[in-house]
Amino acid sequence: MTAVLGTGLLRETAFRRYWGAQTVSLVGDQITLIAVPLLAVLAVGAGPAQMGYLTAAALLPNLFLSLPAGAWADRRPDKRAIMIVADVARAVLLLAVPALWWADALTLPLLCTVAFLVGSFSVLFEVAHASLFASLVRRADYVDANTLLNGSRAASFVAGPSLGGLLVQWLTAPVALIADVLTYLASAVFLARVRVPDGPADEPGEIKGMLAGVRYVARSAVLRALLLGATTLNLFNYIFAALFVLYVTTELHVSPGALGLIIGLGSVGGLLGAALAGPLSRRIGLGPAVVVGYLLFPAPLILVPWVEGAQWLIFTALVAAEFFSALGVMVLDITGGAAQTAATPRTMLAVVSGFKRTVNYGIRPVGALLGGGLGALIGVRPSLWIATVGALLGAVWIWFSPLRTMQELPEY
C-alpha cells in the first residue's frame, strides 16, 4: 500500500520539496486561470474579441517556443535553476498587474503582454521540469511519482477555481493575483532547497537540438504512438470543448450554476484516477493501462450528445461524463507520462517534451475552429457525436504499437 500511495517517495526530502513546488504552483495556475479573465472583463472592459486576444496571447508561447526552449534547456546543466528563474519571473510579471491597476495604467495590450510573457516562462518551466523529474526519480518509481504529481493537478482542478473565485469576490481580481505571486515564490523556495545533481547536459557523441528531438520521436515507435494518439485525441476533444458549453446551456437548458456544479463534481474523478493509475498499471501492465486511459478519457463524453429528457437525468449523465472522463485523463497522463520519460534519453527529455507540447498545443486551436465550423454547418449535436466518437481514434495509434502489450517501462 505504501508503494501504491507513493509515500515512499514522499519520505525522500528532495522529491518531497520538488512535489511541494509543483503542488503550490498548480494551485496558483488555477487561480490565474479565473482571475486574469475576470480582471480583463471587470477592470479593463474586455469584450468577446478582446478575450480571444488574451487567450491567444497566453497560448502562443506553447506553440512557438516549446521546441526551441526544450532544445535550449537540454544544453543547460542545471534544469532546477531554469525552473527557479521561471518561477521568480512569473511572480514579478503577475505582481506588475495589480501595481498597474492601482496606478490606473492597466490596459488590455499590457495585460496581453503579461499573459504572453507568463506563458513563455511557463513553457520554460515545463520543459525543464521533464529533465529534473528524471534526475530526482528512480526509473522504477516513474508511475508512482507521476501519480503524486497528477494527483496534485487533479486536486488543483477541484480546489483552485473555487479558491480563485472566492479570492476575486473577496479581494477583487487584481489583488487575487497576489495569491498566485506567492505560490510561484513558494515554488521557487522549495526548488532552491532541492539538493540533487542534475547531471551533465550532454552525452558524448549525441547530436542535440530541435531537429534531433523531432527525429528521435519520429524513429521511436513508443514516442511516435504517444504523440499521434494524443494529437488525434486533442483534435477531437477541442472540437467537443468548443461546443460543450453552448450545447448544454442552450439545448439541454442547464443553468450556469448547475454547469459549475457538474464540472466541480466531475473533477473529483481526477482524484480517483490519480489513485487508481498506479495499481492498474501494476495489475494489467503499463501499456494496457495506457490503452485504458486513451479509451476512458473520451468514451464517457458520448453521454453528452446522447442524453435527453428530464433534467435530473441530464444532470446525472453530465456528472457521470465529466467524472469518468476526468478519471480516464489521469490514468492516461500518469501512465503515458511514465512511458514517455522512460522511452526518452535523459539528455533529450526537454526537447522531446517541447516537441510534444508544440504539436499538442498546435492542434487545439485547429480543433476549436473545426468545432465552430462543424457546429454552424451540420448542427451542434451532430458535431458533438463526431467529436466524442472520433476522439476514440486516438487509442488506435496505441493499439497498433508496442505499447499495447508492454508490461514494464519501455527502453530507449
pLDDT band, very low/low/confident/very high, at 197 (cuts 50, 70, 90): low
pLDDT value of residue 196: 63
Give residue-wise pLDDT tens across range 36-85.
Answer: 777 777 777 766 566 657 767 777 888 788 888 888 887 777 788 899 99
Cell numbers found for residue 129: 521540469
More confident of the two residues 25 and 41:
25
pLDDT value of residue 165: 64
**Side chain identity at residue 363, one-letter code:** I
Per the prediction, the chain carries an average pLDDT of: 82
Q: Is the pLDDT of residue 412 over 80?
A: no
DSSP assignment string, 185-245: HHHHHHHHT-------S--TT---SHHHHHHHHHH-HHHHHHHHHHHHHHHHHHHHHHHHH
N- to C-terminal Cα separation, the chain: 30
pLDDT over 70, % of the chain: 88
Give residue-wise pLDDT tens across range 340-385.
Answer: 888 888 778 778 888 888 888 778 778 877 888 888 888 889 999 9
Quickly name the fold that domain 2-192 has: Growth Hormone; Chain: A; (1.20.1250)
Q: Is the pLDDT of residue 203 over 60?
A: no
Q: Which residues, in sequence order, are CB contacts of 286 under 8 Å at separation 6+?
A: 143, 335, 338, 339, 403, 406, 407, 408, 409
Give residue-wise pLDDT tens across range 212-240.
Answer: 778 888 888 999 999 999 999 989 988 88
- Averaging pLDDT over each range in 36-45, 202-211, 267-276, 316-325, which range is the top one? 316-325
Give residue-wise pLDDT tens across range 29-42.
Answer: 777 776 777 777 77
pLDDT value of residue 207: 42
- Say which CATH architecture domain 210-405 belongs to: Up-down Bundle (1.20)
pLDDT over 90, % of the chain: 25
Cell numbers found for residue 31: 487561480
Place of cell 486561470: 33
Question: What is the average pLDDT across 150-173?
Answer: 70
pLDDT value of residue 290: 94
More confident of the two residues 291 and 103:
291
What region does 283 belong to: left with phi over 0, alpha with psi -120 to 50, or beta?
alpha
- CATH 1.20.1250.20 positions along the chain are 2-192, 210-405
